[in-house]
Structure 1
């Protein structure tokens, strides 16, 4: 069983690297293509927004498919849809069709839902001693796609000469190839299906049943520690997106060049993903709840640092680094709590609900951040973000302590 667990994690990590090229391309290159096809900078964030909504819409469906047909079928279906989205983006560039670009963005967002579900799939065969570590290794591999994806634009000129595709389209052609390669890796490598093996191990072999959304919500009410973990992940994700998305605007307003802004965002992304294996090891050793709360504390500290930074770009960069590390701790530890506390098919439904809510929280955080920035400035935005983080951390602690007392009483 241990060998199969390690092989499953390795397969998921490899697929994450290949599929992550698409996610890394959407934010940077997608915005450039959106401006080109729409003719206005007002639509610059439209592809990212479409992708985020696609991930939110797909998360519950992929979780349902995993319960009914297994992880391999769910992940493969999501990767196929994301690859179709990348092809649609290429076609949109060729046809100069902005609506088709948005359709492609929504479909590529399904790949984001696959990335989120993959971290949970890594825990299907885990024990309590390895759960956070296995999950974090799959999260860590997202670093490669986040870094390499946007830099594929440097190959664009050569690809244009070879293929005749319009400018920026070839980046999404690379993404489509990566997604199809990830699909092959999942189809070949996830045999036997980890959910089937876990079902036999837990005495639930052959148990395939649909778990409605209301049942997933009821399950969270019965498992308050998991409900607190989901709340912590949502708050950390919303704050991270809100602060990260407005920081480039703040830095440029204080004279920072594009290269410095790019370096700051790259360091933030590295902090989000690169340290996740270490976070997983600490969570397995010290307990995921402690790491989740520590992550929330880091998120609050990051907002405080960014809020007082003003025009000090070094201090802003430090703040964004802390923000990425806090997000990593909250996401890895919170996911480990959900994976360990909720049993059977209900666990998969709760995981899908968590993924959908995270995507929606990110979309909401990004949308509201601009309004808050315009109203109270960057310092005010960070003050609001810190308040959200503090409130979420308090709720997580209160709920978790009550859950612990209830378990002790029984």
Structure 2
């Protein structure tokens, strides 16, 4: 006598490795486009602001873009925490495109408030480029986190290094369209941001953060949280269960996952209380504090020196010759920021995050010394800017990785957003002060003050980690 036994099929889980490979490829392409958008505007931002509002206001205009990127970290983090990386990154790029458009209008009307509003929103492009690096570690293996994060940082090299050299071409091209001088690059920036947002909205599926949450829930044996009103639609023949992908079109492990894991979306309880909750965790963890400090202080020094370098070059080059020189110097500086990022990531995985942060601090100090004593010697100034980029890369890659692995999963996106907020505000302070320091005391004093600002980070990086401190990932 036969008995008909009904068995429940095993839950169908996404293949994290294949999703990670696809995510990295997509992030790589959008970082190239976004890098063009951010850098082509930055290359002429200070010059345009100086033409409209004066040299002292040039630093404030640059800092407005940094402030915008910092403040946008708050809504972008809320979107990412609640709905995933895809809508958050697309939103940031959209805001950046709007900002670029407003800068063009400000140049046409010479209306200073509109210029500052446009630069504030233009920071959305930088916010998206910065947040994208964290999407690379959502599904990364622990031993490869720094390398995979650094690959996304490195991808910006292709667009960012070329973009300053296209600034003059973009300006000449758009002058035939009737756009004011120095505003054309911002029109190109807006178009690049729109393209990057569209590619992410269409292609970043499944969302890496939502997938990581789903897999974490499956490992812990807890059901994936479902937001109010959401329904799961399991694949044919698959019963709903903890960790199962509840969306049609999901394929078994080893194949591509074509749909977003609806069940993995966060509920308010899952999201926690945002950045305030993240800070309550970060402040108790020495490694997390060092990660945030390394990212913020490296960015502060880089922005302070880099933002005023075009203005410094303008002191000894005529206006018709300064753009090509600025393009070359900034291209090599940006190459220093991004080109060796994979090497920095490999070193951070092999030697540890803290030694690479210390190496970055030493490189930043050397950069300030070389650039500050270069005078009107452009090759020496260029070497200083390349070193500045290398120091930024070391603190950014190692610091971001250290932070990401030093906080528990529920608050990780909020902690990452907190880091970008602090980084942006630090850079904004540097940009705001740099213009006044440049006008009152000159470029050498500016680089000296930037070097002094690194001292607190050096003390924190050399501070011994207490035994038993919550320094590792939960």
Q: The TM-score by the shorter chain falls in which range?
A: 0.7 to 0.9
CA gap 1:20/1:252 in 2 versus in 1, 3 angstroms: closer
Match of 2:277 in 1: 215
What is the number of residues matched between the two proteins?
A: 405
Give TM-score scaled by structure 1 length.
Answer: 0.88
Stretch of structure 1 that moved more, 368-377 or 277-286? 368-377
Kindly state the Cα deviation for residue 349 of structure 1 after the two structures are TM-superposed: 0.8
1:241 matched to 2:284: no
Asked whether the equivalents of residues 229 and 396 of structure 1 are also in contact (C-alpha less than 8 Å), the reply is: no
| Structure 2: unaligned runs, 5 residues or longer | 1-15, 226-265
Unaligned runs of 5+ in 1: none
Distance, in Å, in 2 between the alignment partners of 1:100 and 1:366 is 19
1:232 aligns with 2:247: no
**How many angstroms does 1:119 deviate by?**
0.7
Q: 1:298 aligns with which of 358, 363, 366?
A: 363
Shift of 1:82: 1.8
**Structure 2 counterpart of 1:71:** 85
CA distance in 1, matches of 2:366, 2:184: 40
Q: Which residue of 2 aligns with 1:393?
A: 458
Shift in Å, 1:85: 2.2
- What SS does the aligned partner of 2:273 have? coil
Q: Which residue of structure 2 aligns with residue 344 of structure 1?
A: 409
SS in 1 for 2:463: helix
User: Is the contact made by 1:233 and 1:331 (CA closer than 8 Å) also made in structure 2?
Assistant: yes
Change (3 A) 1:101 1:243: closer
Contact residue 64 and residue 211 of structure 1 kept, 8 A: no
Shift in CA distance, 2/287, structure 1 to aligned 2, threshold 3 Å: same
Aligned counterparts of 2:298 and 2:316: Cα–Cα separation in 1: 26
Q: Determine the C-alpha separation between the residues in 2 that align with 1:371 and 1:345.
A: 42
User: Does residue 175 of structure 1 match 2:237?
Assistant: no
1:306 Cα offset (Å): 3.5
Matches within 5 A, 1:1-400: 1-35=16-50, 38=52, 40-95=54-109, 97-150=111-164, 151-161=166-176, 163-203=177-217, 205-206=224-225, 207-208=266-267, 209-248=271-310, 258=322, 260=325, 262-310=327-375, 312-372=377-437, 378-398=443-463
In structure 2, how many angstroms separate the alpha carbons of the residues matched to 1:307 and 1:155?
A: 31
Displacement, 1:134? 1.4
How far 1:14 moved relative to its partner? 1.3
Task: Give per-residue Cα distances to partners, 1:101-128, cap 9 Å, x unaligned.
Answer: 3322222211211111111111111111
